[in-house]
Structures are given as structure tokens and as C-alpha cells.
Structure 1
Amino acid sequence: MRASRLLTILMTLQTRGLVTATELAEQLEVSVRTVYRDVEALGAAGVPVYAERGSAGGYRLLEGFRTRINGLTHDEADALFLAGLPGPAAELGLGAVVASAQLKLQAGLPAELRGRVNRAQLRFHLDTPGWYREADRSPDLARIAAAVWTDRRIRVHYRRWRGEVTRELEPYGLVLKAGAWYLVARTVQAGEHRDRTYRVVRIEELEVLDEVFERDPDFDLPTYWQDWSRDFVEQLRAIRADVLINPDVYAWVRDLFGAYVADTVEASAGKPLPDGRVRADLPIESIEVAVAELLQLGPNVEVLGPPELRAALADAARATAARYA
């Protein structure tokens, strides 16, 4: 266990540079005192690690020191190349770079682990788009990615649901979600900085500006995306339908409408009625969208309210029955 910690500390210092003992302790889930002992052990083993004192201090390796990657376990080698996304990397203009990096990494591995990596690549493939839809294609994606890398401001003409807008943005990051690329960017409106999300395929025109912006050091892309995704779904499905639903179709609800809707239904469900159904809240986007969605559940769901949704579903059911009469 300690050998694994020592290797993790070594690789962290090699990739990140200056790291505090507190950061290492949180990463390793150990005490700061344990980190002190582990760093001392690395120094005793000949690793040139030293401490920088002061409030902005921490541990770092002697400049120029590098170690070969020969401490990977079999499982780590198996998983190493499963993280690679050749398709998206090529869309970002990094296909050749990723291939070159993988080749160099493989060359640095022992022969046995190189064989395990090759086996993983032959046996597993990641296909990011969802079923029945194609991945987004944008001619500007590589240029946007370059602006993200170099902290360059961009000017975009963007097609929204409510019309088109032109904005200057500070591009902070790109996210690939179910085959769709999203740009996370900061904009200044009325003197206030706002973080927004833009679907890349809806960018009609792009201009990369010469101006360089200073990134907010506290901005964390994964945290932002997690919070934004949750808020987006909650705002999109702000209306609650009062339904009687058959618990046997919970899994179907999850597949059709996603985790947020399914979790809300299950959490709000009351005690089963004599016929087995339960009363629950079901988040919907609008009356029109809900009609199309709930018809997929057939008689397994009955809408009690709002009244306009119940009436719309009844009209759709009668029209469907008449069509097949």
C-alpha cells in the first residue's frame, strides 16, 4: 500500500510541479503527517524532492528530473488506453498528437505491459453518441479548441431557441456529452461576469481575437458542468404532472426520460393503491412535449393533473383509436 502511495506522490509531483502536503493528503486520503513520512522515504530512496517554505510553498522535484513509467500494475496498463478518444481528439485537431503520445507512452512501458495495452485496444471501443442520433459536426471546433488552449477571446454569432445573438466570450473549456460538443465560456454583460454554456454546432460564425484573457484560477470545469447539467434539467422540466403510475415501468421511465425524472417519480411515490399503481410527481417540459412522452407509457400511467395535460392526452388517445378503428 505504501509503495503505491510513494509512486502516486512521485507521479503527481512530476506532472503538476509544486504540490502542498495538504493537497497530497487529500488525494491519497491519508493524514498530512503520513505525507511527510512518505516524502522523507522518497528522498531517502534517491528521489530529488525538496520543500519550498512559505504560504505559497509545497513539495516539488528537482528541475529536469524524470522517471520512467515502470510502476504500472497490470490493471492500470489494461485501463490506460481505454481513456483515449481518437474520434473526439481528431475533431479537436489533436488526432496526430494523441497517436504520437500513445506511441511514445507505449515505447516507455515494459514489454509485458505493452502487450496488455494492445489487448485492451483490440477488445474495447468507446462510441460516445447516443442511439438514433449522429454526433455533432462543426467546422469551427478545432479553432475553438485552439482558443481554449491559448486563452484567446472569441466573437461568435450564436443561434439560440429565442433568436440569434453576437457575443464576445472567454472560452474556458469544451465538454463532450452524448456526441454533442458544448463550449463553456465567460461573458461580460452590464459589467458582470457570467459563465454560460453554448452548443458548438449552433455557432454560425466564429472569429478568434488577438486579445488574451486571464483565466479565473478558481474555475473548475467538471464542477461547473455537473452543477449546470443538474440546473439545466431542473429548469427544463419545471412543471410537475400529478400521475398514477405502475411501478413496473420505473426502469422504462429511466430509459425514456432520464435519471432526473425517474428519481423524482420514485422519491415522490406514495403507497401502492389496491390496483398496484402509485401516485407520484413526474417532471415535464411542456404540455405538448409531455403528451408525446407519456403516450409511450400507454395505460401504465394516468395523468390526474394539470387538467390541460389530461385533456390533451385524452384527445390524442381518441384520435389514435379513431385512426385504427
Structure 2
Amino acid sequence: MKLERLISITYALLNNEVVSASELADKYGVSQRTIYRDIEAICAAGIPVVSYQGVNGGYGIIKEYKMDKSLLGSDDIASLITLLNSTATVFQDERAQQTIHRLKTVQSKNSRTPSLTMDLGSWRAYNEILRTLRSAINAGQLVRFYYMSAKDERMERTVEPVSLLLKYDSWYLYGFCRSRSDYRVFKLTRMSELAALPELFERRHNVPTEDIFSGGGDVQEQVEYAVIHFSAGPLARVLDEFYLDEKRFNEDGTLTLTIAQSIDTDWLMERLLSFGEDVVVLEPPSLRRRMKKKIENMLARYDEV
């Protein structure tokens, strides 16, 4: 009960210029002496409460500690609270929680129900990786982990972590890789045996302003278009995975997609194979041949069945 009263008193002080001890005593049904002890406890918690003398005196919080309501609209505040709630949950960030409390003090009592909700969290082990990396970034600690490259090569890496990045549905670590003596981007799902080392690094790093995923050089990938036919069964999943590609819904309930793909990568073929018998490659012939060869190789593993 006392904790709830302390929190409520803090909000009252944040929302008002001055509140008298008698007002607070009447509101919470306690003596003024109890209110004085509560104010002392709030001050001990680090909240800068000041007392004002005179007829209209009482208690308040210094203006520098408050957030100006005129700086943000109600929609801005609601969006910030939504985002901070999600990050605070993932990273167990007490400072973010404190910011949320401050934002709520300037949020209008008549604010509409939030039109946006977010949850950046994932399964527990993934969140623990995020927390370990963020803690290492803030402390300037080296991290070490094994990493599986796009070429399926597993190597130990020692990295000076700079920042965590969320792009689409994946988290990445940007940092200076001592194993490569250069900056690299690491996808968290490809990390294993992550450990924050006691060694600190002194190098000063800056997060680049350009898109770190775009790569460098002037090499242009060759692109061709693939026409893919899906049966009616897995259409929800097809739309989840290929929502940006050109679609044609057919009268029989099937779906035909036109997908731009790089000639030099196998990513499309690997994704299509996961649909099993519900997918057929119509064009180009080269992709049809590669799919057929891959399926034949798969079948060869089951000759003894």
C-alpha cells in the first residue's frame, strides 16, 4: 500500500506545479506527518522534490526533471510509450521504464486507445543474446562467438561491438571484427557460444549513416524473373513469404507469382523446395532444371526405402 501511495504521490507532483501536504494527506487518508515521510522517501529514490513556503506553498518537482507537454502531441507520446515498452521488455532496461513513467505523466487523461502495439521480443534465448550484446556495447567489452557465414563456414570471431540493428524480422550486430580487421555485420541467428569478454576496447567507433546492408563496389547483380505456380493449399504462407512480388490469383484458387531473383544465388530455389508438391516452377527453364536436379539428388538419398 505504501509503495502504491509513493508512486501515486510522485505522479501527482509531476502533473502539478505545487501540491500541499494537506491536500495529499486528505487524498490518501493519512496524516501530514506520514506525507512528510513519504516525500523524504521519494527524495531518497533520486526524484528532485522541492518545498515551497508561503500560503500557496507545498511540494513540487524541479522543472528540469519534467518533460514539457508542448513538445509532443498525444499521438507522439503514445507511439513513444509503445516503442519503449517493447524495447524495455526485450532488454530489461530500467532507464527505458523510467522514461515511460515520465511520458505517462504528460499523457493526456483523455488520450485515445493506442492504435499501435509492438512486440520486439522473441524466444527467451534470443532475448538473452540481445541483452548480452547490448551490455557489452555499453560497457565497451569485446565479444567472442562462433559464426556461420553465408558460405557455410563456421569460424570463431572476436568483435568490438558497436550497435544492434533490427531489419525486417531479423537482428544484426554491427562491429569491428578483429579476425578480419574490418567492420562487419553479423546476423544473430548465425551466432553460437556467445560470450562477453572481460577485456575492454579503446577504439572509438561510429555507426555509419549509410545503409550497411547495401554493400560496396559497382558490381550489379544479374536479375531474371521466375514465374512460379502454387496450389491452393499453402497460399497464406506464400503471401507471408512473397508479399512484395507480383501476384495473379487464378479462378481455380491457385496463385501465380512473378519473382525477381539473382542468377547467382540459390535462395529462391531453397525457399520453393520447402513448399514440396504444392509448387511448380514455370519459368525460366534454367531454374526448372536446377530444381529437377536438386529433387533428384534428394530422392537418391532414399533409394533404400
Q: Provide the TM-score with structure 2 as the length reference.
A: 0.52
Aligned twin of 1:79:
79
- Once the two structures are superposed, residues 117-152 of structure 1 have per-residue CA deviations (whole angstroms, 9 ceiling, x without a partner) of 7x32xx6432347xxx957525443232122123x1
1:187 aligns with 2:187: no
Higher helix fraction: Structure 1 or Structure 2? 1
Aligned length: 218
Larger Rg: 2
Kept in 2: contact 1:287–1:308 (CA 8 A):
no
For the residue of structure 1 that corresponds to 2:111, the secondary structure is helix
Mark the CA change 1:307 to 1:81 in structure 2 (over 3 Å): closer, same or farther: closer
Aligned twin of 2:241:
256
1: CA distance, partners of 2:201 / 2:135: 12
Kept in 2: contact 1:77–1:116 (CA 8 A):
no
Aligned twin of 1:273:
none
- Once the two structures are superposed, residues 293-316 of structure 1 have per-residue CA deviations (whole angstroms, 9 ceiling, x without a partner) of 575763584442146325348869
1: CA distance, partners of 2:170 / 2:271: 24
Mark the CA change 1:304 to 1:139 in structure 2 (over 3 Å): closer, same or farther: same
Report percent identity of matched pairs. 12
Aligned twin of 1:5:
none
CA drift of 1:200 comes to 6.1
Q: What does 1:94-113 align with in structure 2 at a 5 Å threshold?
A: 94=93, 96-107=94-105, 109=106, 113=108
Kept in 1: contact 2:227–2:258 (CA 8 A):
yes
2: CA distance, partners of 1:240 / 1:281: 6
Q: Give the aligned CA root-mean-square deviation in angstroms.
A: 4.6
Structure 2, unmatched stretches of 5+, are: 1-62, 248-255, 300-305
Q: What does 1:272-283 align with in structure 2 at a 5 Å threshold?
A: 281-283=260-262
2: CA distance, partners of 1:203 / 1:245: 35
1: CA distance, partners of 2:258 / 2:132: 51
2: CA distance, partners of 1:70 / 1:177: 32
For the residue of structure 1 that corresponds to 2:182, the secondary structure is strand
Mark the CA change 1:307 to 1:210 in structure 2 (over 3 Å): closer, same or farther: closer
2: CA distance, partners of 1:313 / 1:303: 16
Aligned twin of 1:166:
156
- Once the two structures are superposed, residues 134-177 of structure 1 have per-residue CA deviations (whole angstroms, 9 ceiling, x without a partner) of 57525443232122123x13131214153443332111111235
Kept in 2: contact 1:175–1:181 (CA 8 A):
yes
Aligned twin of 1:116:
111
Mark the CA change 1:80 to 1:153 in structure 2 (over 3 Å): closer, same or farther: closer
2: CA distance, partners of 1:287 / 1:101: 44
CA drift of 1:240 comes to 5.7
2:141 to 153, 158, 163: 153
- Once the two structures are superposed, residues 82-108 of structure 1 have per-residue CA deviations (whole angstroms, 9 ceiling, x without a partner) of 32243x4233231x332222112322x
Aligned twin of 1:271:
none
Kept in 2: contact 1:128–1:178 (CA 8 A):
no
Mark the CA change 1:194 to 1:65 in structure 2 (over 3 Å): closer, same or farther: same
2: CA distance, partners of 1:102 / 1:126: 15
Kept in 2: contact 1:156–1:203 (CA 8 A):
no
| Alignment-mate amino acid for residue 80 of structure 2 | L
Kept in 2: contact 1:186–1:193 (CA 8 A):
yes
CA drift of 1:187 comes to 1.7
For the residue of structure 1 that corresponds to 2:80, the secondary structure is helix
2: CA distance, partners of 1:252 / 1:282: 19
Kept in 1: contact 2:136–2:161 (CA 8 A):
yes
Aligned twin of 2:21:
none
2: CA distance, partners of 1:178 / 1:278: 22
Aligned twin of 2:286:
305
| Alignment-mate amino acid for residue 101 of structure 1 | T
